Amino acid sequence: MDKNSIVKAEILSQALPYIQKYNNKIVVIKYGGNAMINEELKMNVINDVVLLSEIGVKVILVHGGGPEISGTLKKMNKESKFIHGLRYTDDETIDVVQMVLAGKTNKDLVKLIMQSGGNAVGISGIDNQLIVAKKHECEDDLGYVGDIDKINPNIILDMLEKGYIPVIASVGTDEEGHTYNINADTAAAEIAGALSAENMILVSDIPGLLFDKDDESTLIPLVHVYEVKGLEDKGIISGGMIPKVECCVRAIRQNVKKAVIIDGRIPHSILIEMLSKEGIGTMFKR
């Protein structure tokens, strides 16, 4: 008997309890733009998403695309400005955000899922008023950056029911029809919360939450919600990590059982997180 076959069978059999645990359960995966840059890694992430869907997990893919938005703005000679991890979004920028996120990035991901053998439908938070937004409140005026007022999840449930993987771009709209730029981590957390998801996974290009953001060996594997304030006060959480961590906390507070930040650069990081006892990245717990 080939030794390799035995190892493979062993791995599959160890995954069985996790496959059973997640059967028919909703899992929200947020795929960030920084982990989308390399085509090979992109295919790796997409293959994992399709595999999970094939084994009966109700996967929802919420995506960002920050670097693509910045790249398009740069071609227009417009510099991007971020305040506390959120993009300052003026009239011109919101059009670019909608065009890039709900257009190219969304449809590219749908195409990859189809190529990988899955069934996907791409929508944005504007469709069927999935994400009802309002202007983001803070001391700085960020223009058309939105906070989420309400999630209308029926369209997602209909898609899942029919066996489609919903691929969701993080833009929303208000009653007057203004479009808002929503941080994709925020969109994932509110969607996960509205659907009481079993798990929310934020796929980025960092190992997880680090004690020292410039030293990848300083991973914090587990964070309790009550510890977050202290980490913020010590300045450990900054930039794009601020919305990410806040979203994990919000998801947990809305009864999502587990929220994790994982590294999309590691092949099959989603499967390692979901189907093995080792886990990966930073897990947030109540």
Ligand X SMILES: CC(=O)N[C@@H](CCC(=O)OP(=O)(O)O)C(=O)O
Ligand Y SMILES: Nc1ncnc2c1ncn2[C@@H]1O[C@H](COP(=O)(O)OP(=O)(O)O)[C@@H](O)[C@H]1O
Feature table: binding site for substrate: 65-66, 87, 181
Which residues sit opposite 201 in a β-bridge?
29, 260
**Site map (CB under 6 A) of ligand X, residues 162-201, x = contact:** --------x----------x-xx-----------------
71 binds ligand Y (CB under 6 A): no
Task: Give how far the C-alpha of residue 129 lies from the chain's centroid of Cα atoms, to the nearest Å.
Answer: 19
Can you read off the two tokens belonging to residue 82?
Answer: 């971020």
DSSP string, the chain: --HHHHHHHHHHHHHHHHHHHHTT-EEEEEE-GGGSSSHHHHHHHHHHHHHHHHTT-EEEEEE--HHHHHHHHHHTT----EETTEE-B-HHHHHHHIIIIIIIIHHHHHHHHHHTT--EEEEETTGGGSEEEEEPPSSS--BSBEEEEEE-THHHHHHHHTT-EEEEESEEE-TT--EEE--HHHHHHHHHHHTT-SEEEEEESSSSSBSSTT-TT-B--EEEGGGHHHHHHTT-S-TTHHHHHHHHHHHHHTT-SEEEEEETTSTTHHHHHHHSSS--SEEEE-
Q: Rank residues 59 and 86 by Cβ distance to ligand Y and give the closer one.
A: 86
In the list ligand Y, ligand X, none, the entry touching 237 (Cβ below 5 to 8 angstroms by class) is ligand Y
Residue 26 interacts, among ligand X, ligand Y, none and using kind-specific CB cut-offs from 5 to 8 Å, with none
Nearer to ligand Y, 160 or 187 (CB): 187
| Residue 28 found at the interface with ligand Y (CB under 6 A) | no
Is 41 near ligand Y (CB under 6 A)? no
- Smallest separation, CB 145 to ligand X (Å): 4
Question: Contact with ligand Y (CB under 6 A): which of 41, 241, 249, 280?
Answer: 241
Of the candidates 29, 113, 123, 145, which one interacts with ligand X according to CB under 6 A?
145
Q: How many residues bind ligand X (CB under 6 A)?
A: 15
Complex with ligand X: residue 62 or 275, whichever CB lies closer: 62
52, 64, 89, 145: which one binds ligand Y (CB under 6 A): 64
What, of ligand X, ligand Y, none, does residue 97 touch, CB below 5 to 8 Å by kind?
ligand X
Separation between Cα atoms, residue 232 and residue 248, nearest integer Å: 14
**Least distance (Å) from ligand Y to the CB of residue 178?**
24
- Give yes or no for residue 125 binding ligand X (CB under 6 A): no
Among 123, 192, 210, 223, binds ligand Y (CB under 6 A): 210
Instruction: Tell me the C-alpha to C-alpha distance, in Å, between residue 118 and each of 7, 52, 107, 112, 186.
Output: 27, 10, 14, 9, 26
25 versus 42: smaller Cβ distance to ligand X:
42
Query: Residue 64 interacts with ligand X (CB under 6 A)?
Result: yes
Structure tokens at 135: 């202007």
Length of the chain: 286
By the rule CB under 6 A, 34 interacts with ligand Y: yes
Q: Which residue, 56 or 239, has its beta carbon nearer to ligand Y?
A: 239
Q: What residues between 75 and 114 interact with ligand Y by CB under 6 A?
A: 85
* Chain contacts with ligand X (rule: CB under 6 A): 32-34, 64-66, 69, 86-87, 97, 145, 170, 181, 183-184
